[in-house]
């Protein structure tokens, strides 16, 4: 997989994990609101983690050249 896709993968995985956490963690009380909010925040965190991973891999490749 190309490194440029890592932030996108982080975004999707973060959103999916956040939605599941919000949905199942709400205990039935306003589960959809909780799932949407948690998915959004986890998607942002996943995007950040993917971007950092991309940056580290890019820096490591530049040092090897």
Model's pTM, two decimal places? 0.82
- Confirm if 43 and 19 have CB atoms less than 8 A apart: no
- Residue with the two structure tokens 């932030």: 7
CA–CA distances in Å: residue 2 to residues 9, 35, 41, 47, 55: 11, 30, 25, 16, 13
**Which is it for the CA torsion 23, 52, 61, 5, positive or negative?**
positive
Q: Which residues contact 61 (CB under 8 A, 6 or more apart)?
A: none
pLDDT in tens, 23-63: 999 887 888 999 999 999 999 999 999 999 999 988 888 88
């Amino acid at each position: 997989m190309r490194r440029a896709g890592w932030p996108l993968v982080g975004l999707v995985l973060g959103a999916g994990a956040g939605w599941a956490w919000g949905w199942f963690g709400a205990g039935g009380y306003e589960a959809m609101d909780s799932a949407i909010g948690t998915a959004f925040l986890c998607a942002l965190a996943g995007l950040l983690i993917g971007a950092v991973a991309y940056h580290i891999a890019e820096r490591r490749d530049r040092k090897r050249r």
